[in-house]
Structure 1
Amino acid sequence: MRNRPEPAVTARTHLSLALLALVYIFSYIDRQAIAVLIEPIKQEFGVSDTAIGMLTGLAFGLLYAGLGVPIGRLADRGVRRNVVGVCAILWSVATIACGLAGQFWGLLLARMGVAIGEAGGMAPSISLVSDLYPRKRRSLAISLFMMGPNVGVLVGLAVGGWIAQQYGWRATFLWFGAPGILLGALVLCLVREPVRGGFDALPPGAGAPARPLLGQLRHLWAIPALRYLCLACGVAGVSSYGYGVWVPSFLVRTHGMSLAHAGLVFGVTSGIGAMAGAMFSGWLCDRLVQRDSRWQLALPMIGVALAIPAAFAFLLWPAAGHWLAGTVRIPHALVFALAFGFFASWFPALSYAAISQMVPAHERSIAAALLNLFITLFGVGLGPLVTGFLSDTLNPLYGPQALRYALAAAMSLLCLTVLLYALALNPYRRRLASLAMPYPA
């Protein structure tokens, strides 16, 4: 029974949401901009595609995935606003350090600093947003916050490519790092720390299990539907992150584009496709699950299945044909990149929503963190590295076209994702029945 007044939503609440969303957008800009800087970094330091895969993937992914859970636990015990603000300043300073690196190992260390900072950004922000708004407005607030990746990819690639073309790759890191320091300071000064569970009927921590962290993770892993879902998203992450990091270089090598040109057309195409696909799939899923709860996983499975031929068409389409939009040359293949962005965007948000349905309320954060661990560790950690390694391996046979076939090989892993989603369908429905948790009307 509530024994405290319900907090109010004010202009300060909306300002807090806007600042947190901007911080999340810039985290993705700082994370994604490196994709359009691969070619000049390779030329300056004389490193292989495998080394670039280590820089863009494993060096970032291991730290980001490994530190996300402990930093989240720290935020649960302290002031979440301070965690987000300090981490934003940290990753922004590390981004600037990337632009000042004189040797490849220095760039690698700075990139690891970006990962350490960003590991403390998303989870505390989600917790903050959840306590800033009442339940009936919370989904919309979190949806607005979660637009960060799509906007960040678009800006990171399109604007980052233009900056690199005009002022050099180092300037891109400097330009994108500086605003994050200001945003982190604004979060510390202006974002209010809400009462934990202030809008909820139960006090914070009510019904929390007594299991230690490792015991709780083992308990969650024993749920078949959750296990299949984590594996499906992890495998999809290998393909999608390798695709996101290496496609700008593919457009440079295969389609003869400049950095600015590749970043602009790929960033805009992918960003528009992904934003449209995410909104459409969420709208469609809310309707289909009323008939059968398995649509929560069937729809992302279908999206991945449709994304596979779109990816192959984009990567293998001849480089000769193009349209002109003013003075901008747009290869015909970009139509399939738009389609891939649309369909591939179905699986992340719908999978996180499925996680929230198959566990009790007091386990949703740790279950979502477990899913994020798989996506990050497999996707960010292995996706760019595996693709870069395949490109180096195929280079003696295909020369500059090796990256084309390396990306196609990485995309073939999505077939395994489709299979894992299919295996999860019936266990997911049984899990909901065991919890007496049908999909809410």
Structure 2
Amino acid sequence: MGLHTAGRAVPGTSPAEPAVSRGYAWLVFALSFGLLLSDYMSRQVLNAVFPLLKAEWLLSDAQLGSLSGIVALMVGVLTFPLSLLADRWGRVRSLVIAAVVWSLATLGCAVSADYGEMFLGRFMVGVGEAAYGSVGIAVVLSVFPVTLRATLSGAFIGGGAFGSVLGVSIGGVAAQQLGWRWAFGIMGIFGLALAAIYALVVTETRLEPTSGGRGGTPGERTAIRSLLPRLFSSVSVVCAYIGSGLQMFVAMALMAWTPSFFNRYYSLAPAKAGVAAGVFALITGIGMIGGGIVSDRLSRRTAARKWSVAITCSLGSLVLLMTGFLLSVGVLQLVLIGAGALLCNATAGPAAAMVANLTPTAIAATAMATLTLANSLLGLAPGPAVTGMLADRLGLLGALQMIPLVAFAAGAAFTIGKLFYEKDLRRLGVLPDVPLKNLEPQP
């Protein structure tokens, strides 16, 4: 039996009608999306200069992977506490401070003298970026109708892929023309400029006049601690966290090492390798947006189809990527890898929508932080680093042939989530056709 619950959410989790005009809502989205681009440009520009750093500082692949993985690790460690702080203190001011920190840290990377200083700079980039994704998406979802959640989530998270395209492509060209230090410098300056514009245009009171931009009513904010158990209130939500994180492992490993893959196996110079890798990152971003749109459309009448979309994307990416990396260098290999890239993170929108639907609005940023935590600890941090360690032993191609296997575990998590979904909705009181006596009281 289908679940006719599209557009519905756990009682108390759906925001009221957005308090801002549709035009201002899209302006908030555009500026938030722009900061997300800056976030990932600063994060992924490193990948474009891997060959240059390896040659100049004689670094191993494991060391290169650690420079990428430390950012995701700090995101994973700090995203929850900083997002909870943003829910209490104010989301907009938190976003602006975060952007300033990661931009200044990126400028610090530009003047680093050795691996240790670069590692410290990347550490601080991670500190600045820790809560941006979760708080930013909470701000975006708060000013749009609930029926657009998967689409907006997919589009917003997809900004990471587009930022990666710009970071790798612009970074590769800048590094070749001006030196790798300028690649970091350009990203840092761009981030600082955009943070200033955001602070001037987006204000706490305009987002939510009744709550100062913190999400929820004043009464809800005083009860935030009591709402935290709702972050793990159902098996399906936990499976969304796990499935999303494991699938992110595949996507981020691919994104981090594609420039080196083209450099080593297609003999492309760093600039051209960065541009080629940028195309595949762009394909990944298109897949994120497409996954969200397809999920929202298919689940208008049957909400469980969000899970079906996620399962299909996980298993599809497994088959396509593994087959692609097993083939010889050539057009067919690139086509299959590109198709796998399209699906490898298309699960992001459906997963974020389900987390938003099943958790309270008052802790929206914290809920997204929990998802980001799973994405970071299961995917963003270990993906590039584990791939680098495998590459030191098996070669980069051998490592990339093994990485897609993680998508099987992601698909299994989404499958379990789908199996428990109807039961969880009934327990949480979302299904309209359930007798009241079968519904558990809501906090």
Matched, 1:102 2:113: yes
State the shift of 1:283 in Å.
3.0
Give the 3-state SS of the residue equivalent to 1:243 in structure 2. helix
Distance 2:166 2:410 in 1: 29
Distance 1:291 1:11 in 2: 28
Q: Identify the residue that residue 54 of structure 1 maps to in structure 2.
A: 66
Q: Identify the residue that residue 65 of structure 1 maps to in structure 2.
A: 76
Amino acid at match of 1:99: A
State the shift of 1:403 in Å.
0.4
Q: Identify the residue that residue 33 of structure 2 maps to in structure 1.
A: 21
Change (3 A) 1:36 1:229: same
Change (3 A) 1:290 1:30: same
Give the 3-state SS of the residue equivalent to 1:178 in structure 2. helix
The farther-off stretch of 61-70 and 276-285 is 276-285
Q: Identify the residue that residue 325 of structure 1 maps to in structure 2.
A: none
Give the 3-state SS of the residue equivalent to 1:194 in structure 2. helix
Matched, 1:418 2:411: yes
State the shift of 1:148 in Å.
1.9
Give the 3-state SS of the residue equivalent to 2:303 in structure 1. coil
Distance 2:430 2:170 in 1: 45
Matched, 1:239 2:230: no
State the shift of 1:106 in Å.
0.1
Matched, 1:204 2:197: no
**Higher RCO (Cα < 8 Å, 6 or more apart):** 2
The farther-off stretch of 287-296 and 368-377 is 287-296
Verify the 8 A CA contact 1:55 1:111 in the aligned structure 2. yes
Give the 3-state SS of the residue equivalent to 2:101 in structure 1. helix
Change (3 A) 1:369 1:96: same
Distance 1:21 1:306 in 2: 28
Matched, 1:90 2:114: no
Unaligned runs of 5+ in 1: 322-330, 395-401
The farther-off stretch of 89-98 and 138-147 is 138-147
Distance 1:211 1:74 in 2: 11
1:336-362 C-alpha deviation (Å, 9 max, x unpaired): 232112212321111111222334544
Residue among 407, 419, 428 paired with 2:400: 407
State the shift of 1:417 in Å.
1.3
Q: Identify the residue that residue 399 of structure 1 maps to in structure 2.
A: none
Q: Identify the residue that residue 338 of structure 1 maps to in structure 2.
A: 338
State the shift of 1:91 in Å.
0.7
Q: How does 1:371-386 map to 2 (within 5 A)?
A: 371-386=371-386
Distance 2:332 2:100 in 1: 41
Q: Identify the residue that residue 387 of structure 1 maps to in structure 2.
A: 387
Verify the 8 A CA contact 1:85 1:188 in the aligned structure 2. yes
Distance 2:422 2:18 in 1: 36
1:226-253 C-alpha deviation (Å, 9 max, x unpaired): 2222222222222221111112111111
Distance 1:427 1:379 in 2: 24
Distance 1:6 1:264 in 2: 40
Change (3 A) 1:354 1:141: closer
Matched, 1:316 2:326: yes
State the shift of 1:8 in Å.
4.8
Verify the 8 A CA contact 1:16 1:192 in the aligned structure 2. no
Instruction: Give the count of matched residue pairs.
Output: 414
The farther-off stretch of 332-341 and 135-144 is 135-144
1:176-233 C-alpha deviation (Å, 9 max, x unpaired): 1111111122222332223564489x961555795737x835x543622222222222
Distance 1:426 1:141 in 2: 25
State the shift of 1:157 in Å.
2.0
The farther-off stretch of 413-422 and 98-107 is 413-422
Distance 2:91 2:303 in 1: 34
Distance 2:309 2:19 in 1: 37
Q: Identify the residue that residue 352 of structure 1 maps to in structure 2.
A: 352
Distance 2:414 2:18 in 1: 41
Residue among 38, 48, 59 paired with 2:50: 38
Distance 2:165 2:270 in 1: 14
Amino acid at match of 2:319: P
Verify the 8 A CA contact 2:247 2:345 in the aligned structure 1. no
1:28-56 C-alpha deviation (Å, 9 max, x unpaired): 11111212211111111112111112111
Verify the 8 A CA contact 1:269 1:334 in the aligned structure 2. no
Distance 2:379 2:135 in 1: 22
The farther-off stretch of 289-298 and 178-187 is 289-298
State the shift of 1:123 in Å.
3.2
Verify the 8 A CA contact 1:278 1:349 in the aligned structure 2. yes
The farther-off stretch of 150-159 and 110-119 is 150-159
State the shift of 1:317 in Å.
2.4
Distance 2:424 2:100 in 1: 42
Verify the 8 A CA contact 2:18 2:143 in the aligned structure 1. no
The farther-off stretch of 297-306 and 413-422 is 413-422
Q: Identify the residue that residue 430 of structure 1 maps to in structure 2.
A: 423
1:257-285 C-alpha deviation (Å, 9 max, x unpaired): 111111112212330x2343234333332
Change (3 A) 1:139 1:233: closer
Verify the 8 A CA contact 1:6 1:198 in the aligned structure 2. no
State the shift of 1:439 in Å.
9.7
Matched, 1:228 2:239: yes
Change (3 A) 1:181 1:288: closer
TM-score normalised by length of structure 2: 0.84
State the shift of 1:299 in Å.
1.1
Q: Identify the residue that residue 164 of structure 2 maps to in structure 1.
A: 153
Give the 3-state SS of the residue equivalent to 2:205 in structure 1. coil
Change (3 A) 1:249 1:284: same
Identity, in percent, stands at 25
Distance 2:244 2:169 in 1: 27
Distance 1:232 1:136 in 2: 22
Q: Identify the residue that residue 326 of structure 1 maps to in structure 2.
A: none
Distance 2:201 2:224 in 1: 36
Q: Identify the residue that residue 4 of structure 2 maps to in structure 1.
A: none
Give the 3-state SS of the residue equivalent to 2:94 in structure 1. helix
Unaligned runs of 5+ in 2: 1-16, 434-443
Distance 1:6 1:233 in 2: 28
Change (3 A) 1:264 1:332: farther
